[in-house]
Structure 1
Amino acid sequence: MQIATSQQKISKVFKSGNSQAVRIPASFRLDTDTVKISQTEKGLLLEPIQDKPIAKSRGDLLLEVLSAFPDDFIEAVADRDMSPPQEREPL
């Protein structure tokens, strides 16, 4: 597998605990916490794994929750008595 790239950088390899690590320059920063590592003829290949779903807006989440309610429930809520509570003497 050959990948064409317009950028190349040199980085340091170092030991982190019992593992070997590579410092990734900021211009190659990955937008993920997890990568798949494959060994190729020319070296190692890192591929980002997008394990997090795309964040939904609060409005989208609300509409998703509301759409799960049956129609008769929504109608019952819309038709309920919305008058203020009775005023009573304090105890």
Structure 2
Amino acid sequence: MSTSTLPSRVFMNGNSQAVRIPQEFRLDASRVEIHRQPNGDLVIHPLPEDRGEALLQALAGFDEDFVEALEEGQREQPPVQEREEL
């Protein structure tokens, strides 16, 4: 895939505005996340088809020592502090 800049067209699709994505930038996703940067640029991120599967894949990168440390940290939470009501 090229990292060049290509012109495209904006059009109406029902009540929504749509952007034609050139073939060179075709996305392998049926859903995307769009956010606007402070300078006004729009950034499009493809979303995984199965977000649960994406989470499991991300978690698979952690070793057992890391997971055990997290679990140990959860067991050693300090007691809840009692405070006067506001």
Normalising to structure 2: TM-score of the pair? 0.52
Q: Which amino acid in the other structure matches residue 22 of structure 1?
A: V
Runs of 4+ off more than 3 Å: none
Q: Of the two, which has the highest radius of gyration?
A: 1
* Partners of 2:4 and 2:42 in 1: CA distance: 17
Superposition deviation, residue 13 in structure 1: 0.3
Within-5 A mapping of 1:8-87? 8-40=5-37, 41-52=39-50, 53=53
* Partners of 1:50 and 1:36 in 2: CA distance: 10
Supply the RMSD in Å over aligned alpha carbons: 1.9
Unaligned runs of 5+ in 2: 55-86
Q: Residue by residue, what CA displacement relative to the aligned partner does 1:54-73 show, whole Å, maximum 9, x if unpaired?
A: 8xxxxxxxxxxxxxxxxxxx
Q: Number of matched residues? A: 50
Superposition deviation, residue 6 in structure 1: 3.4
Unaligned runs of 5+ in 1: 55-91
Higher relative contact order (CA 8 A, sep 6+): 2
* Partners of 2:22 and 2:29 in 1: CA distance: 15
Superposition deviation, residue 43 in structure 1: 1.3
Normalising to structure 1: TM-score of the pair? 0.50
